[in-house]
Amino acid sequence: MSNKAIAENPAELPAIPDRSVAVTEYGAVGNGIHDNTESIQRAIDESASAGGGRVVIPPGIWLTGPLTLKSRIELHAEAGALVVFSKRYTDYPLVMSCYEGRQMFRCQAPLDGDGLEDVAITGGGVFDGGGEAWRPAKKMKLTEKQWNELVRSGGVVDEHGIWWPTQAAKDGAETVARLERTGSKDAKDYESVREFLRPCLLSLRRCKRILLDGPTFQNSASWCLHPWASEHITFRNVTVRNPWYAQNGDGLDIDSCKFVTVEHCYFDVGDDAICLKSGKDEAGRLLGMPSEHITVRHCTVYHGHGGIVVGSEMSGGVKNVHVSDCTFIGTDIGIRFKSCRGRGGVVEQIAIERIRMKDIAGDAISFNLYYEGKSGSGKYGEEIFVPVTVETPEFRNIHIEDIVCDGAQAALLVNGLPEMPVSGLSLKRAVFSCKEGIVCRNGQHVIIEDVELHVQDEPIVTLHQSRSVRLVNLSGTGSPDEDRLLVVTGGKSADIKCLSPATPPSHRKVAISEDANPEEVVVL
């Protein structure tokens, strides 16, 4: 891939001593009824005290509360083992954690670790987070029957049509905001809103040499897998499942981490599937820990808000990322970049290649710098220039090639900021069958080369307020009514060249708006 300059740095694997114990040796009972928290935790703790080793969970249904992982421990759930985490809120102590880019109190994750080295979770077993006891649900995402059954089960419905499991969960956001305004650092102050502070299924903070290989992680109360400020992490042969309607049901959130490999994994989730983050707004900028040296390959994503996603919390930066040989089927968006004013941070040196997409509900490839993190946000705004500051997000030097997409809203949508266009974007060797073609607003130094577009709604390419754009060997078909190849709008659009379009002359129609300069557009 030309100009990508992405150096892959393989993640180091953990070193685990060659000794093994079974949780049954500590009194664990796999009947789905017995509380095994003490037994499993004791197996982990005593193995760690002995220098480390493998803790084996055999086939069975193992009910447990949250588990604290330890250094040099491999938790191995054998095929047939189903580890079910408690749905009792009081089983989850409040701990200082990190969520959505900020350090804050959260309920302890079912699989939790801080400051660890050499940790593995392996085997063919299943870890179930019991998320239905925690998650709110939006009426719009459920059938009438599902909604009625949920309401009859108890809980509280707010004025926005959102069901909450308890009144404390419903009121939690307001209470937490008030406590944070007062600067409270005492966990006791947050006890009344424990139900609101939903845990991730797995939370690893400030850890080194982590391996997840084989298990299924499902039904999380919030994000499923969340490594933060950690390094040398490998996700291999992992399956991640959350209900498609799961609120904040992300699959994997790689947050301010470096040297990460994700390979041969499967995702079917309720929010973004594979997401790269690095903190939110000022807190993320002050921490200054980018997500970097990340490799994602040979993964499959079914439902999810995005297949591979960068942002929107990317204030510490994201760089040196290589994504290849992945398949996205039925995701809301395929390749997704999102941020907004106020974030700051730089996303750069991203290489994405050999991606297959089918039946994408929204855009195949999306750059959205108007994302505000709420339903319905993200539409392109007015042409308002804001001074460039540390709060201005920047996306640059991103290279995408060898893409096939059968079914999407748009092939490529770029909504850059007037004061900070998406820069150095290339899309090469791609075939799209979708409703709309390429729409690029506020882009600069953009190359679209050897791309075939078959779109239902004309035109094939629309450029607005974009500069230094090269369309090379562009081919395809637009709408039957008026098969326009290119539309250019905006007075700042300049230096646009369409070279060797591989379409018949009758399909090379170009429309230039009154506010654009026709001398800046060349079709050869």
Active site residues: 271, 305
Here the tokens at position 90 are 């009081």
Q: Are strands 239-241 and 266-268 parallel, antiparallel or unpaired?
A: parallel
| Cβ atoms of 6 and 320 closer than 8 Å | yes
Nearest CA to 399 among 446, 462, 344?
446
Give start and end residues of each alpha helix (H) in 129-287: 144-152, 167-170, 172-182, 281-287
Cis amide prior to 312 (ω within 30 degrees) = yes
| Cα separation values, 372 from 138, 294, 379, 442, Å | 19, 26, 10, 18
- Count helices and strands (H / E) in the chain: 5, 44
Here the tokens at position 283 are 């807190």
Which secondary structure element, helix H or strand E, spans residue 423, and what is its range?
Answer: strand 422-434
Q: Which residues fall within 8 angstroms of residue 410, CB to CB, at 6 or more apart?
A: 362, 363, 364, 366, 434, 435, 436, 437, 438, 439
Distance CA 276, CA 317 (A): 10
Distance CA 311, CA 59 (A): 38
Here the tokens at position 368 are 């959205």
Q: With b meaning 16 or more CB within 10 Å and e meaning fewer, what string describes 67-92?
A: bbbbbbbbbbbbeebbbbbbbebebb
Quick one: CA dihedral 382, 386, 391, 393, positive or negative? positive
| Cβ atoms of 219 and 245 closer than 8 Å | no
Facing residues of 444 across strands?
Answer: 423, 467
Distance CA 46, CA 86 (A): 23
CA 269, 271, 274, 277: dihedral to nearest 10 degrees?
-150
Tell me the backbone φ, ψ of residue 387, rounded to 5 degrees: -55, 140
Would you report the helix, strand and coil content of the chain in percent, each value rounded to 5?
15, 45, 40
Quick one: CA dihedral 35, 39, 45, 51, positive or negative? negative
Tell me the backbone φ, ψ of residue 65, rounded to 5 degrees: -85, -170
Residue 139 burial (C-beta neighbours within 10 Å; 0-12, 13-18, 19+): middle
